[in-house]
Structure 1
Amino acid sequence: MRPLDSAVDAVLRQRRPDPECWDAVVDAVCEDSESWRADGVLVQAGPAVARHADRIAASLRRKQGRYGTAVGHGVQVRTLALAGMGDLRALPGLGALAEHGGFPSNRPEARVLAALPAADLVRALLIKMGRDGRDTHRNTTTLELLALCGAAAAPAVDHVAGRLGTQFAYDALRVLGRIGPAAAGTADRLVAYATGRDPGARREHGRRAAWAHWRVTGDPELALDVCGTAVRSGSGSHGLPFLADLGPLAAAHADAVLGLTRSPGGWTRAAAAYAYWRITGDAEPAVPVLLAEVDPEWTGNPAMPVREAVRRLGEIGAPAAEAAPLLRGILAREDRLGHDYVGTRILADDAYTRTLTEALARLGPPPGTLARQP
């Protein structure tokens, strides 16, 4: 068995470390070695430690105590480790953390909870929202998780709407839009935010509120007006994702969107290329723009839209097949992304490799691969 420090270094650095390295990490955590490094990588492990799920679940039960209500760092680590593999035995720990404190506030770590069934996660988040007040970290993390739950977050509509008029309004608007028709009762408030009439409305709220209004009512007029006006001005890059979601409904704005594919900003170019394809179905202008953003030496720096460009090429599918050799080469690399802080490095790299894998599956098989016979 490898020494613990060596094992932790290996799983942080390598995409495909020796399984014994993960074994050493699990041993350290379950034997209460009090290694913050081992704890930090275990919460990021996900399916990589699935063969140890029974042991981690047993360790969680011990940590929770006889009545299952104990909380603390140890409960959080084991709960996140199980949640990352989608193991339902994380739910008792999650419920205790939601009710008694210790629910993860680190947003990248908290996202692993989205591997659990959305309905179960929403129940825990409702408990948490009822006790949090207006704590900044807890509210932003909770709202992000609810957005990931989509329509399943409908039971939280009143709680989310209560965040309008606070510093969490921008995140709350996203959640309401993701919930969709079940949030139709907030439509008038969304109009007030989109038009700036609500006293709590800020300039950055308008486009997202207009998009959310379309999502909850099915009426695209306000979103097309607000987001289209911003994009036609040449300075409304933040309206591009919403026009992309509207798709062919935004056809009147296609030329303005195409013009933004020549923007000096990489994020704007990538968003415009994807939006143009979504609106028109024409991949020819979009693919070269997206492909140019896929830097094979990318370290994970969020200033560059590399992962987003890969995802969008995958959505385009066969018309973007020329991207496949580049993506296969990136996926074959042994080293993880190096930009992210070690506390999220595995999560960031695993997300990137999933994006690459999913994109390649949509782009089609490598040349010379025989089609499977029916």
Structure 2
Amino acid sequence: MVEALEAVVWEGLGESAEDVRRALNRLLERGPDSTENDCYPLFWALAGTPPGVSALATAALPFVVALATDPGTGARKTLVELLAALARRQGPVDPGWPEAWRRAHDTVQALLTDADPAVRREALPLAEGPGALRERWRAEHDPAVRLTVLFSLGDHTADAEVRAILTGLLRHTDPVLRVAAVHTLARTEPELAVGELDALVEALADPALRSRWEAVWYVLDVDKPFSREDVAYWTAVLFEDTPAVETRFLTRLAAAADPTGDADLLRAVLDHSWRLLTRHRSVEAVLLPVAGRLMDHPDSTVRLRAVHLLAAAGPRAVAYADRLAGLLDDPGDGGFLEGTVGEHALWALTRMDDPRALPGLVERLCARFREEDGRSYTSGDPRRPELVDVLGPMTDHVDELLPSICEELRRGLTDPDADSYLMADLLEVLRAWGPAALPALPEITGYLPDRFRWHDAVRTLATLGPAAVSATPAVRGHLSQDPEEHNAWLHWVLWRIGDDPAGNLRAVGESLPVTGQSRGVFAVGFLTDFGTAAAPYADRVRNALESELPGIRLQAAIALWSITGDPEPARPLLEDEFLAMAAGGEHFGSFGEALSALIRHGGTPGERARTALESLRAQDARLSPCGDYRAILDDEKFRALIDTALSE
């Protein structure tokens, strides 16, 4: 084969031709020692972009087939996967490809009966229609291949014989095969899984089957077999269009699992329960008791997940407050999840406004910044909440918490090893508290010369109001030090803290273009706060209504309402946001901005807007773009705004 490979004229077959020649040569040289990594250049060159089948693929095909069928090639399984990828390529096809594939046909089809089970499994996409797959089902006796054949039959459920095979398996004596049949049929008949729910729970919770799943549950295009917990997760996904049924599946699975000896399955239940809770409101009342039963589990990875779920529910989980308080010092971790059981229990108590969370709260929250180098978490998984999400809502306890925050901020000013991100987070907390954080003015002002944190400090000053006027000189210093595009914002901040109202208004207003210009238009939103005093700049605001950017148009409309007192043209733009969100929109930022503006100006939504807001209030889906705990916090925030708007 080496001579044949060298005889190919690779020049003119594309810029990747030499890479393909080298990869094929390396596979030949390495023989039984060849691995998946040796095949990567072939995937990139032959099955990557652009779409279609190239002349290079036609030239390489005989060698790929020969290597894939050679028992002496270590990377056979990966090469069969490459053949399957080439067989289903869409797009332009090299004129020589059909003939090359025809010549290789019998050899390629023989892979379906190869002696190596892994090769037979990877070759299944090469089977020609339901007849070939039915034959493989009858002939295949290796359970680790047989299940994959079953999944492949699911692409042909319109074939009567295939359907007869699959429906017959629903009453098979092997529970694993029964579950696989449900998964396969549910792809086209999702309602079928509902009728098999009890059987699915029984099979997944059966301790005698725990080792079977990972031995046989292979899915094409997935490198490793599924564990029982993986199968449980994807079984729950079968019901995701009906949250009530999905919840029933999870609660029954949790009840059927060994309460102390099957932490793996309980972890899987809680993981999927968490994802369900972040998507739907209606499941909360049913899932909280599940978490409540598991919050004292001997396995800390189960405890942490249960406690995090209760914490996210906050005041609606207050029945578990006493038991959560008993976990405050629990050092158990969640494996790869962030935080300890005690940290999540602490957050739960703050969400419930429980006074047992207060002693040493700030110190505990800040300690992790000194003990760890950075953070690592997977989006959507349970994790520590951001500081502002813990402390920001605690406005009734500012007097008790503020001294500790000031102490941390002072440490950040003097300790070269202090975590800069912690200081940013603490300043964000003070912004959430607004004027109540005024006693921290010296510490906030101390960060104005800091080249990393000055922006955070200025933003925080803007929330304090005119009582922070003493910070004026330090803020004004940035007018000459920073880029000109910051000036309008800095003048707005100066106005907010009580400095020279007329001069700062003039600076912000005159930064807006007069007409037909884009420079400076981003400052239009700052004029909202000036109200009627900004009337001389109303025409410039109207000019911004013509911006190509929807966000700028919305801000201009809100500002114009504030300046003129006339709800037109703001109202139509605001109400468009409500209608868009009710129709499935995802621009939550502008939706919240529009809703807040309507409330601030005392506006009453029109009939269509009211209908849209009522439909949003009634929907089960969370009002949030997030997939973690913030989905629940966002949902609470937006629903409170909707309630306020509809009460007007």
The two structures have a TM-score, normalised by structure 1, of: 0.82
Match of 1:284 among 561, 568, 588: 568
CA distance in 2, matches of 1:20, 1:110: 29
Distance 1:48 1:300, change over 3 A: farther
Secondary structure of 1:339's aligned partner: coil
Q: 1:185 and 1:86, CA in 2 relative to 1: closer, same or farther beyond 3 A?
A: same
Q: 1:164 to 1:30 in 2, by over 3 A?
A: farther
Q: What is the alpha-carbon distance in structure 1 between the residues aligned to residue 366 and residue 603 of structure 2?
A: 48
CA contact (8 A) 2:327 2:341 kept: no
Q: 1:21, CA displacement in angstroms? A: 0.7
Change (3 A) 1:349 1:109: farther
Counterpart in 2 of 1:210? Answer: 491
| Equivalent residue in structure 2 for 1:192, among 462, 468, 477 | 477
Amino acid at match of 2:560: Y
Whether the 8 Å contact between 1:12 and 1:346 is mirrored in structure 2 is: yes
Aligned to 1:90: 357
Task: Report whether the alignment pairs 1:231 with 2:512.
Answer: yes
Mapped pair 1:358 → 2:644: yes
Q: Give 1:59's match in structure 2, choosing from 315, 318, 327.
A: 327
Shift of the 266–47 alpha-carbon distance from structure 1 to 2, 3 Å rule, reads: farther
What's the RMSD between the two structures over aligned residues?
2.9
Matched, 1:222 2:503: yes
What amino acid sits opposite 1:82 in the alignment? Answer: L
Contact 1:161 1:172 in 2 (8 A): yes
| Cα shift at 1:141 | 1.6
Measure the CA separation in 2 of the matches of 1:185 and 1:145: 21
Q: Aligned pair in 2 of structure 1 residues 122, 28: CA closer, same or farther (>3 Å)?
A: farther
1:127 aligns with 2:407: yes
| Structure 1 match to 2:276 | 10
1:124/1:73 CA distance change after superposition, 3 Å: farther
Q: Partner letter of residue 243 of structure 1?
A: L
Aligned to 1:310: 595
- For residues 202 and 88 of structure 1, do their structure 2 counterparts lie closer, same or farther at Cα, with a shift above 3 Å needed? farther
Cα deviation, residue 355, structure 1? 2.1
8 Å Cα contact 2:288/2:309 also seen in 1: no
Counterparts in 2 of 1:68-217, with a 5 A limit? 73-98=340-365, 100-101=367-368, 110-116=388-394, 117=396, 118-132=398-412, 135-165=419-449, 166-193=451-478, 196-197=479-480, 199=481, 201-217=482-498
Deviation at 1:176, TM superposition (A): 0.9
The yes-or-no answer on 1:330 pairing with 2:597 is no
In the alignment, the residues of structure 2 paired with residue 260 and residue 129 of structure 1 have an alpha-carbon distance, to the nearest angstrom, of 40
Structure 2: runs of 5+ lacking an equivalent: 1-249, 255-268, 332-338, 376-383
SS at match of 1:34: helix
Q: Does the CA contact (< 8 Å) of 1:214 and 1:220 recur in 2?
A: yes
Given the alignment of the two structures, is residue 340 of structure 1 paired with residue 631 of structure 2, yes or no? no
Residue 126 of structure 1 and its aligned partner are, at CA, apart by 1.7
1:301 is displaced (CA, Å) by 4.7
Name which of structure 1's ranges 285-294 and 308-317 shifts more when overlaid on structure 2: 308-317
Report the CA distance shift for 1:326/1:159 in structure 2 as closer, same or farther (over 3 A): same
Shift of 1:241: 3.1
Higher radius of gyration, 1 or 2 = 2
Residue 264 in structure 1 maps to residue 548 in structure 2? yes
CA positional deviation for 1:255: 1.7
Instruction: Indicate the structure whose relative CO is greater, using CA pairs within 8 Å and at least 6 residues apart.
Output: 1
1:199-239 superposed Cα distances (whole Å, 9 cap, x missing partner)? 3x244532332122122225312321232122235433442
Checking the alignment, whether the CA contact within 8 Å between 2:280 and 2:622 is kept in structure 1 is yes
2:558 alignment partner, one of 264, 270, 274: 274
User: Which 5+ residue runs of structure 1 have no aligned equivalent?
Assistant: 65-71, 363-374
User: Which 4+ runs in 1 deviate beyond 6 A?
Assistant: 103-107
State the AA in 2 paired with 1:311. S
Please name the residue that 1:368 is paired with: none
Q: 2:605 aligns with which of 320, 330, 334?
A: 320
Counterpart secondary structure, 1:262: coil
Pairs within 5 Å for 1:247-262:
247-262=531-546
CA contact (8 A) 1:150 1:178 kept: yes
Measured after TM superposition, the shift of residue 169 of structure 1 is: 1.7
**Aligned residue identity for 2:320:** H
Contact 2:466–2:497 (CA under 8 A) maintained in structure 1: yes
| Alignment CA distance shift 1:287-1:174 (3 Å) | same
Q: Is the 8 A contact 2:295 2:307 kept in 1?
A: yes
Contact 2:314 2:351 in 1 (8 A): yes
CA distance in 2, matches of 1:237, 1:80: 41
Tell me the distance in 1 between the aligned counterparts of 2:590 and 2:620.
22
- How far apart in 2 are the matches of 1:275 and 1:240? 7
Q: 1:47 aligns with which of 275, 298, 315?
A: 315
